[in-house]
């Protein structure tokens, strides 16, 4: 996608994947396809010897990937607008119910103010606008030191910290 | 009451700084109003008709003297000298400037208060029975669970961008004073056959333009599992709640579209998984820790008879009238629960001045009472009063204009801010409440009428809970003119029901007469000690309708 860059593990990285349109030919390297294309060309896609990603719209549950979920290297979650919070549950579900260990990438319209929540539910890669500074990312991660509830990040909760005294 | 430890204090302080940065970015133009709006709402800040309004959380309605004094300070320093208590046990300040909000929040944090999640499409601040810890029919103090839910829901990473707002209420008594069946999720503390306490969970209740009474989705959720259960409900809602139409986005629409059985099935699927993971289990030690904060004060060993109280009742008609309506039996002998009415005749329901807030703090200190409560009926409550102190307390309240003897009566009206403040409103609510209150001000008549809950909303969003009013009044707009629809037979208590619309709306100058005619029918037709609500249920709305519209053709 033009006009964005990718943050992963807290720093800018080169995107190793190409996001394909539904009719684009498959290049040899890593590609990301829509769920519709994945469902249509599933056998051909998983038999290729290259990393594969699927991009889910906000109304597409990752459960639709079935057992294929752990054949994927990256799952991209779309935020069509920042108020649409479904992807928070999709990420959480990927990390806990489905045990997905690969990259979960956020794309679309989301705010600085949502980055810490996204990281907590298991999103570990972020497509941010060109002008975005890594210092802002660090700041977002550090705004609130401790958390009250468990999530996919495995951080100790305030209750656990209290018990550890 | 709950006291912050270092973790809570740091959390709230950091949340203030986080919001300060959001305000800075809005003021610099980095954030558009469209982007800033959900962020400010998550911290209780609305843009109203005339100014910003800041809604401050009063967790489960409990306030200490120190907190009351801080609210008085905020009213003086940042507002026009008064605040407004709401139907969700919060307080709103209507004249706040955006640039002052971070400092206001920093002031609040010094007394362990905040505005976190008092608005926005998130899990809102949790409400609970305002008689918690004092009521005779209580199984368990609902604030213990409310505090556990508050912590779990605070900045919940998965559930802060829900389809719509999400309100949770907890009741710990047989008599429901928290309107649990009208909440997105309502929790009732119950006891099973083995004598164990647990939770009955309702989901999908609500008011607004499509009122529903909640369905039971959990018959008996064990205490350690309650957060897992709530997380399951939230996850089903966050995945499947509608996002295409703001008026169909609440969980009540989802529950009624799926049906209660399918909703239960989906919730149980999530619940089993979350429970098995174990990370959300509430250990009994945690419940015990939180319960300690809500331990009742050490009650003195008093007899139930207090000569001072009896003497005041004998000698003062005013005290007698007040004690007849504004006192509720307390679980400890020699104590009472006193309701402080914020509904003076002709006044604005729920408003309190900074002088009153300060004076109430002094009153608490003087009589050794540690806390005050806010009720969802927009009144205040002294939960633990020695009966012998009541005459002196009454005298002080009288001097403050806070001794109106009308708790539960026809002039104890709930009203939303309406078109006087709110940019969603279609009609004014406050002046209608004031006119009805003036019409029925005669005390003997009020007592004769007995329990009658009038609730007024200025628009279909139903912040004034008109669907749950014995008499509900809904403001509507017809070509720029305010009209008022009447509903009868609603209840927000354990016998929850939704009021039935009487017929065409009344004009601003007709509505008070119509209410009076409806009350007249009750007075004529009631049987024995029947309440207004009971008479409506027995007779149906027809006789009321007939009288309310008597001479109606004349008007049109």
User: Is pLDDT of A93 > 80?
Assistant: yes
The reply to whether B276 and B164 lie within a common domain is: yes
- Token pair of B414 as six digits: 């709930």
Residue B128 has a pLDDT of 97
**Are A144 and B162 an interchain contact pair (Cβ–Cβ within 8 Å)?**
no
Residue B127 in any domain: the answer is: no
To the question of pTM greater than 0.90 for the whole model, the response is yes
Residues B500 and B359 placed together within one structural domain of the fold: no
B17 touches chain A (CB under 8 A): yes
Contact indicator for B313, B323 with CB cutoff of 8 Å: yes
User: Residue B80: which residues within 8 A CB-CB, separation 6 or more?
Assistant: B94, B95
Cα–Cα distance, B115 to B88 (Å, whole number): 13
| Cβ atoms within 10 Å of B183's Cβ, excluding its own | 28
Distance (Å) of CA A34 to CA A42, A84, A108, B424: 11, 19, 14, 40
Burial of A161 (0-12, 13-18, 19+ CB in 10 A): middle
Q: Are residues B171 and B255 in the same domain?
A: yes
Q: Is the residue at B114 inside a domain?
A: no
Nearest residue to B221 (alpha-carbon basis) of B205, B202, B239: B202
Q: Do residue B382 and residue B444 come from a single domain?
A: no
A150 DSSP 8-state letter? -
CB neighbour class for B464 (10 Å; exposed up to 12, middle 13-18, buried from 19): buried
Could you say which DSSP state residue A41 is in? S
Taking the CA atoms of A165, B1, B4 and B8 in sequence, report the sign of the dihedral they define.
positive
Which residue in this structure is represented by tokens 């505005």?
B115
Identify the domain containing residue A149 by its residue range: 4-164
Instruction: Identify the domain boundary among B230, B264, B292.
Output: B292
pLDDT tens digits along B87-102: 999 999 999 999 999 9
Query: Per the CB < 8 Å rule, is A92 touching B158?
Result: yes
pLDDT tens-digit profile of A97-148? 999 999 999 999 999 999 999 999 999 999 999 999 999 999 999 999 999 9
pLDDT of residue B556: 45
Q: In chain A, how many H helices and how many E strands?
A: 6, 8
Contact in structure between A140 and A112 (CB atoms under 8 Å): yes
Name the residue among B189, B178, B165 with its Cα closest to residue B131. B178
Same domain, yes or no: B452 and B533: yes
- Quote the Cα angle for B544-B550-B553, to 5°: 130
Q: Residue A157 is part of a domain; what is its CATH number?
A: 3.20.20.70
Q: Quick one: pLDDT at residue A2? A: 56
- Count of domains for chain A: 1
Chain B residues lying within 8 Å of A111, measured CB to CB: 35, 39
Look at residues B21, B161, B103 and name the one whose alpha carbon lies nearest to residue A140. Answer: B21
B130 domain-assigned: no
B267 in the same domain as B161: yes
Shared domain for B447 and B333, answered yes or no, is no
B321, B405 in Cβ contact below 8 A? yes
Q: Is residue B119 part of a domain?
A: no
The Cα–Cα gap between B46 and B94 comes to 9
Q: Is residue B329 in a domain?
A: yes
Torsion on CA atoms B465, B467, B468, B469, rounded to nearest 10? 90
- Do B150 and B220 lie in one domain? The reply is yes
* DSSP one-letter string for B220-263: EE-GGGHHHHHHHHHHHHHHHS--S-GGG-SHHHHHHHH-HHHH
Tell me the nearest-neighbour CA distance from A83 into chain B, angstroms: 6
Residue A12 near chain B (CB below 8 Å): no
Domain C-terminal end among B352, B370, B399: B399
In a domain, B171, yes or no: yes
| H or E element in which residue A134 lies | helix A134-142
Q: What local confidence, expressed as pLDDT, does residue B37 receive? A: 95
B460, B355: one domain: no
Q: Are residues B313 and B435 in the same domain?
A: no
User: Taking CB atoms and an 8 Å limit, are A158 and B11 in contact across chains?
Assistant: yes
Here the CATH number for the domain that contains residue B340 is 3.90.480.20
Gyration radius (Cα) of chain A, Å: 17
Please check whether residues B44 and B147 belong to one and the same domain: no
Residues B197 and B443: their CA atoms lie apart, in Å, by 42
Residues B316 and B201 in one domain: no
Can you give the pLDDT at residue A26?
A: 80
Of A99, A98, A129, A100, the closest CA to residue A115 belongs to A129
Tens-place pLDDT, residues A50-84: 999 999 999 999 999 999 999 999 999 999 999 99
Q: Tell me which chain A residues have a C-beta less than 8 angstroms from the C-beta of B16.
A: none
CB contact under 8 A, A159 and B151: yes
Q: Do A148 and B151 touch (CB under 8 A)?
A: yes
Q: Which residues of B touch A97 (CB under 8 A)?
A: 273
Under a CB-based contact definition with an 8 Å cutoff, are residues B430 and B415 in contact?
yes
Residue finishing a domain among B92, B109, B126:
B109
- Measure Cα distances from B493 to B87, B140, B397, B468 in Å: 14, 18, 28, 8
Choose among A89, A111, A143: nearest Cβ to B239: A89
Tens-digit pLDDT profile for chain B (556 aa)?
899 999 999 999 999 999 999 999 999 999 999 999 999 999 999 998 888 999 999 999 999 999 999 999 999 999 999 999 999 999 999 999 999 999 999 999 999 999 999 999 999 999 999 999 999 999 999 999 999 999 999 999 999 999 999 999 999 999 999 999 999 999 999 999 999 999 999 999 999 999 999 999 999 999 999 999 999 999 999 999 999 999 999 999 999 999 999 999 999 999 999 999 999 999 999 999 999 999 999 999 999 999 999 999 999 999 999 999 999 999 999 999 999 999 999 999 999 999 999 999 999 999 989 999 999 999 999 999 999 999 999 999 999 999 999 999 999 999 999 999 998 999 999 999 999 999 999 999 999 999 999 999 999 999 999 999 999 999 999 999 999 999 999 999 999 999 999 999 999 999 999 999 999 999 999 999 999 999 999 999 999 999 999 866 544 4
CB-based contact B500:B525 (threshold 8 Å):
no
The total number of structural domains in chain B stands at: 4
Q: What is the DSSP string of B446-513?
A: HHHH-S--EEEESSTT-TT-GGGSSEEEEEEEETTEEEEEEEE--B-STT-B-PEE-SSPEETTTHHH
Question: Quick check: helix, strand or coil at residue B100?
Answer: helix
Is A105 within 8 Å of chain B by CB?
no
Sequence-distant (6+) residues with CB within 8 A of A127 are A1, A4, A5, A6, A105, A106, A107, A108
B223: in domain: yes
Kind and range of the H or E run holding A7: strand A4-8
Q: In whole angstroms, give the CA distance from residue B79 to residue B100.
A: 10
Separation of alpha carbons B132 and B110, rounded Å: 25
Minimal C-alpha gap between B239 and chain A (Å): 6
Residues in chain B within 8 Å Cβ distance of A158: 7-8, 11, 151
How far is A120 from B19, CA to CA, in rounded Å? 19
Q: Which of residues 308-347 of B touch A (CB under 8 A)?
A: none
Nearest-angstrom CA–CA distance, B537 and B514:
19
> Is there a contact between B7 and A158 if contact means CB atoms under 8 Å apart?
yes
Model confidence pLDDT, tens digit, residues A8-34 = 999 999 999 999 999 888 877 789 999
Q: What is the rounded distance in angstroms from the CA atom of residue A76 to the CA atom of residue A94?
A: 11
CA pair distance B102, B120, nearest whole angstrom? 18
Q: What is the pLDDT of residue A1?
A: 46
Range(s) of the domain holding residue B496:
414-548
The whole-angstrom separation of Cα A13 and Cα A11 is 6
Residues of chain B positioned with their CB less than 8 A from the CB of A149: 151-154, 156-157, 227, 280
Q: With cut-offs at 50, 70 and 90, classify the pLDDT of residue A48.
A: confident
pLDDT beyond 50 at A158? yes
Q: Please write the tens of the pLDDT for every residue from B149-202.
A: 999 999 999 999 999 999 999 999 999 999 999 999 999 999 999 999 999 999
Work out the minimum CA distance from B190 to partner chain A, whole angstroms: 26
**Which residues, in sequence order, are CB contacts of B524 under 8 Å at separation 6+?**
none
Q: Touching check for A143 and chain B: CB below 8 Å?
A: yes
Of B279, B180, B182, nearest to B225 by C-alpha is B279
Give the span between the Cα atoms of A149 and B280, in whole angstroms.
8
């Amino acid at each position: 996608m033009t006009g964005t860059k990718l943050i992963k593990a807290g720093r800018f990285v080169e995107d190793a994947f190409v996001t394909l349109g539904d009719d684009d030919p498959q290049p040899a390297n890593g590609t990301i396809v829509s769920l519709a294309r994945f469902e249509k060309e599933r056998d051909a896609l998983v038999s290729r010897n290259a990393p594969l990603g699927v991009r889910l719209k906000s109304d597409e549950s990752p459960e639709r990937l079935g057992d294929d979920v752990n054949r994927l290297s990256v799952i991209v979650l779309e935020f069509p607008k920042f108020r649409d919070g479904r992807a928070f549950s999709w990420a959480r579900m990927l990390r806990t119910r489905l045990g997905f260990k690969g990259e979960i990438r956020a794309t679309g319209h989301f705010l600085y103010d949502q980055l810490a929540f996204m990281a907590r539910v298991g999103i570990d890669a972020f497509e941010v606008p060109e002008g975005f500074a890594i210092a802002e990312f660090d700041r977002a991660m550090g705004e609130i030191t401790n958390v009250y509830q468990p999530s996919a990040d495995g951080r100790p909760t305030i209750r656990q910290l209290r018990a550890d005294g | 009451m709950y006291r912050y430890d270092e973790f809570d204090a740091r959390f709230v302080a950091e949340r203030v700084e986080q919001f300060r940065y959001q305000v800075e970015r809005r003021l610099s133009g980095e954030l558009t109003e469209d982007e800033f709006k959900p962020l400010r709402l998550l911290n209780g800040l609305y843009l109203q008709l005339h100014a910003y309004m800041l809604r401050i959380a009063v967790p489960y309605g409990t306030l200490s003297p120190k907190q009351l004094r801080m609210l008085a300070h905020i009213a003086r320093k940042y507002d026009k000298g008064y605040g407004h208590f709401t139907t969700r046990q919060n307080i709103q300040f209507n004249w706040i400037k955006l640039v002052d909000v971070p400092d206001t929040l920093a002031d609040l944090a010094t007394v362990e208060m905040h505005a976190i999640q008092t608005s926005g499409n998130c899990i809102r601040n949790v409400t609970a029975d305002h008689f918690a810890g004092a009521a005779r029919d209580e199984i368990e103090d609902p604030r213990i669970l409310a505090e556990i839910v508050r912590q779990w829901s605070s900045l919940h990473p998965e559930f802060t961008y829900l389809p719509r707002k999400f309100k949770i209420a907890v009741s710990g008594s047989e008599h429901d004073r928290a309107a649990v069946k009208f909440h997105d999720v309502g929790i009732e503390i119950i006891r099973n056959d083995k004598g164990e306490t647990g939770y009955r969970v309702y989901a999908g209740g609500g008011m607004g333009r499509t009122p529903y009474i909640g369905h039971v989705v959990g018959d008996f959720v064990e205490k350690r599992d309650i957060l897992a259960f709530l997380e399951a409900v939230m996850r089903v809602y966050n995945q499947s709640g509608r996002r295409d139409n703001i008026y169909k986005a609440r969980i009540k629409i989802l529950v009624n579209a799926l049906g209660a059985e399918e909703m239960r099935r989906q919730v149980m699927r999530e619940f089993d998984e979350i429970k098995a993971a174990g990370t959300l289990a509430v250990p009994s030690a945690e419940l015990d820790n939180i319960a300690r904060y809500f331990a009742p004060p050490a009650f003195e060993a008093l007899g139930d008879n207090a000569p001072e109280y009896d003497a005041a009742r004998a000698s003062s008609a005013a005290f007698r009238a007040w004690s007849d309506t504004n006192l509720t039996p307390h679980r400890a002998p020699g104590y009472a629960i006193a309701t402080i009415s914020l509904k003076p005749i002709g006044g604005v329901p729920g408003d309190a001045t900074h002088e009153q807030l300060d004076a109430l703090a002094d009153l608490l200190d003087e009589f050794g009472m540690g806390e005050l409560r806010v009720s969802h009926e927009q009144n205040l409550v002294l939960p633990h009063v020695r009966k012998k102190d009541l005459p002196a307390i009454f005298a002080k309240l009288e001097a403050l204009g806070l001794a109106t003897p009308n708790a539960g009566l026809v002039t104890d009206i709930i009203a939303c801010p309406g078109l006087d403040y709110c940019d969603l409103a279609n009609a004014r609510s406050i002046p209608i409440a004031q006119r009805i209150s003036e019409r029925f001000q005669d005390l003997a008549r009020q007592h004769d009428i007995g329990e009658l809950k009038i609730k007024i909303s200025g628009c279909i969003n139903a912040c004034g809970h008109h669907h749950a009013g014995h008499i509900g009044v809904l403001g509507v707009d017809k070509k720029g003119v305010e009209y008022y629809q009447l509903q009868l037979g609603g209840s927000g208590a354990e016998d929850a029901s939704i009021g039935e619309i009487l017929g065409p709306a009344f004009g601003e100058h007709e509505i008070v007469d119509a209410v009076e005619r409806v009350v007249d029918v009750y007075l004529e037709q009631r049987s024995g000690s029947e309440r207004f609500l009971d008479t409506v249920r027995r007779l149906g709305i027809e006789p009321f309708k007939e009288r309310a519209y008597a001479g109606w053709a004349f008007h049109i």
